[in-house]
Structure formats: structure tokens, C-alpha cells
Amino acid sequence: MKNWLFLFAMIYSLPVAAQSTKKFHYKAVLVDTHNDVLSESVLEGKDISHRLTSGHSDFDRWKEGGVDVQFFSVWTDKTPRNKEARPHDPSGTGFFKDANQEIDSLEFIALRNPSRIAVATTYKEVKKGIRQKKLVALIGVEGGHMIEDDMAKLDSLSRRGMRYMTLTWNNSTSWATSAMDETKHADSLKHKGLTNFGKQVVYRMNQLGVIVDLSHTGEKTFYDALAATSKPVLLSHSSVWNICPVFRNVKDEQIKAVAKNGGVICVNFYSGFIDSNFAKHMDELEGSEGRRIKDSLGKGYDAAKLNDVWKKYFSARLEPYRPTISKLVDHIDYIVKLVGDNYVGIGSDFDGVSSLPVGMDDVTKYPLITAELKRRGYSNKSIKKILGGNVLRVMKANFKR
């Protein structure tokens, strides 16, 4: 009889524990430091104020996932979208114009949905938006190329609400070298790290209350920026090199340096940065094997059709190697075990990646991370720090009140 009672108690306790975890998740403040929905959906004309059947993000799904604060990535490729100037347009052409266009798009969304979203520029506004149960939107500019080597444009983007700037994207600037270039194109670089102008950019960001974001930067730029900054830094969407050794991830000494600075590393959800086995098979498909397969697939297709066919084939080939959510949380766990629970956060890269861990399909799935942390024995206090508390601390240290 006792055995039956014990079994019944165990079965009953499982859904109760799951409900308790979900309730805790929605009470905690969740901050995601990187989402590419502006360039991937909004500029494509999709209305994220309604539930979408494509992409990873929209207002309804953010609410369902328990997201309180979202940094919207303002991103453009190394080739600008806007190549021609309009008469009397002060935002000009090129990367700076691209950045302003994306900020415009976020402002228009906020104007149309004032009861659901608030664009914040100060720490006080962030806290107010959380209390009002709105989605708090912040602007993160992904790539220093968007200031076009012009300090006045840095100031301008700050006035428009930019609250972090990633010093480089994959492409280097004239004043800072990227992780991709330092790793894969080192022989062609004229310099490594920050130039004097690059250090001036960091100083000015500190003065303006703009967080220095070191995701995408090369190691030399990373350490130069840490030496130059007087404020805690952010890595808005990077994972752990020692688990998945790819150029976009950070090594143990870098993690320790961020902890010493008081900054936060926000773990990226992309399968290729989470699991080395996935990354290996992806490299094969992007290399000579992939070119051979693509050539054989290409018979009878025009270029546009071939691209669609190749994307589907590429995705299907990689599907068996997608990592688990447990593997994703391994990256959080690794950082905590190395330097403590004060220096890690969430930087999903939703709407900016082609593959995610199994089950982590969109922004509704954040509660699964909380559940996995709970399963591993993390305390409520630690989980609150990881979900958002650590990033809020960095905001408070950087932002003007």
C-alpha cells in the first residue's frame, strides 16, 4: 500500500512542479539581448503586432514566452541596402541610412501599439515599462560600420535610442577587427584590434551611456576594448568556445576577463554555436561537399529556384544534428561554473539564425530554459540573475538614469 501511495505522490507532484516552474518563469524578469526581427520581418512588411505563421517573433509570442525586455538588433550586411540618397534627407545613404530606417520601423511599431510596447532609452524607462507589463524595447546596433567612421553619427544614433553597439559584425571596420577576420583572414588585415579612433569610440560610448558589445569582435579588439572601457560590457549573443570551438564563441580567458569587468555574456541559441557536431556537418555542407551537391542539384533549375531547393536540402541534411535544449543550457552552466552566476544571460539571436535546438522553435519556448535550470538544481535567485537580472545590472551601470 505504501508503495502505491508513494507512486501516486510522485505522479501527482510532476505536473504541480511544472506549474510552479512556469509560474516562477513568468514572475521573473526576462531580458533577451539580441533579436533580428526588424531586418528579417518588419522590413519585409510583416506586422509583428499580430501572430505570424513564419519567423520566430511577434507580440503574442513574446507574451507567451514571458519576455519583458527585448533588445532589437539594428543590422545591415557589409553591403548597405540604401545606396542612393533622397533630396533633403539628412540620414544620407549607406549603412547609417540603413540603421535609421530600422530604428524608424521600431518607432512606428511602438506608435501603433502604445499599450503593448514601450521603447526605452533610460534605466528608469526600462523599469517603468516592466511595471506596466509592456514589452520594453531597446535598440542595439549590430556593427560599428553603421557609424561610417564618423563620431557625429555615433552621437546621432545614441540620440535616436541606441543603447548598445556591437563594435564589429563579421566585417571589420577601419578601426576594429572582427572575429571572422582575425580568425579567417588574418593575413590580409592591415592591423588587429582597436586603433586610436576605435578607442575614442569606446570612450565616447561610455560617455553617452551606450553599452560596449563585444560579440563578433576579434580577440585583439576584445581585449583592447576591455582595456579602454570604464563601464561593464556586454556580449549580446555569444556562446562558449570550449564546448563549441567556432570563431564566434568566447574562450575561458575571455569569460574570466568579462567577469573581472563586471560584464555579461548572453548565450546565443544558434545550433552551430551550441554543438560542435552540428558545426562540423554544417562546415562540410558549406565546403567542397556542399558545392558538389549543389552542382548536382542545380541541373534543370534556374538560380532562384536552385537557391530555394538548396536551402531546403541544407536544412534537411542538418536536422539530425540539431542540439538539445540541455546542450544549450550547458553553455550557461559552463560560464556559471567558471566564473559564477553574475556574468551570464540570454542572447537568443531569434530571427537571425537558420537552426535552433530541438524544441526551441520560437520565442514562446523560453520557459524550457527555466525548467532545465530548475532540473539542474539552480536556485530561484540564480535563475532570476540569468534570465534578466545580470543584464539589468549592466544597463543600470551604463545608461543615463
Does a structural domain hold residue 8? no
Same domain, 240 and 350: yes
Same domain, 245 and 299: no
Same domain, 238 and 315: no
Q: How far is CA 241 from CA 16, 131, 338, in A?
A: 37, 37, 13
The reported pLDDT for the residue numbered 336 is: 98
Q: Which of 259, 288, 321 is the last residue of a domain?
A: 321
Alpha carbons 27 and 384: distance in angstroms, whole number: 9
Backbone angles phi, psi at 182, to 5 degrees: -65, -30
- The predicted-structure confidence for 271-301, as pLDDT tens digits, reads as follows 999 999 999 999 988 887 778 877 777 666 7
CATH number for position 228: 3.20.20.140
Same domain, 175 and 268: yes
Alpha carbons 315 and 253: distance in angstroms, whole number: 34
Same domain, 341 and 292: no
Does a structural domain hold residue 3? no
- The predicted-structure confidence for 171-211, as pLDDT tens digits, reads as follows 999 999 999 999 998 888 888 999 999 999 999 999 999 99
Same domain, 126 and 41: yes
Q: What is the span of the domain harbouring residue 179? A: 26-275+328-398
- What grid cell was written down for 202? 569606446
Does a structural domain hold residue 228? yes
- 39-43, 148-152, 237-241, 338-342: segment of lowest average pLDDT: 39-43
Q: Which of 259, 292, 321 is the last residue of a domain?
A: 321
Does a structural domain hold residue 11? no
Does a structural domain hold residue 13? no
345 has a pLDDT exceeding 90: yes
- Mean of the per-residue pLDDT values for the chain? 92
267 has a pLDDT exceeding 80: yes
Of the two residues 53 and 84, the one the predictor is more confident about is 53
Same domain, 122 and 267: yes
Q: What is the DSSP letter of 385?
A: I
Q: Which of 321, 354, 377 is the last residue of a domain?
A: 321
The reported pLDDT for the residue numbered 85 is: 52
Same domain, 171 and 296: no
The reported pLDDT for the residue numbered 2 is: 54
Same domain, 180 and 309: no
Same domain, 176 and 302: no
pLDDT grade for 165, boundaries at 50, 70 and 90: very high
Alpha carbons 119 and 107: distance in angstroms, whole number: 7
The reported pLDDT for the residue numbered 87 is: 47
Same domain, 188 and 236: yes
Does a structural domain hold residue 10? no
- 137-146, 279-288, 316-325: segment of lowest average pLDDT: 279-288
pLDDT grade for 400, boundaries at 50, 70 and 90: confident
Tell me the mean pLDDT in the region 297-316. 78
- Give me the residues paired with residue 73 across strands: 140
The reported pLDDT for the residue numbered 84 is: 60
Which helix H or strand E contains 69, and what residues bound it? Answer: strand 69-75
The reported pLDDT for the residue numbered 8 is: 52
Same domain, 288 and 172: no
- The predicted-structure confidence for 68-121, as pLDDT tens digits, reads as follows 999 999 999 988 988 765 544 555 569 999 999 999 999 999 999 999 999 999
Does a structural domain hold residue 101? yes
Q: What is the percentage of the chain residues whose pLDDT exceeds 90?
A: 80
The pTM of the full predicted model, rounded to 2 decimals, is 0.92
The reported pLDDT for the residue numbered 379 is: 97
Q: What is the DSSP letter of 25?
A: H
Does a structural domain hold residue 21? no
Number of domains into which the chain is organized: 2
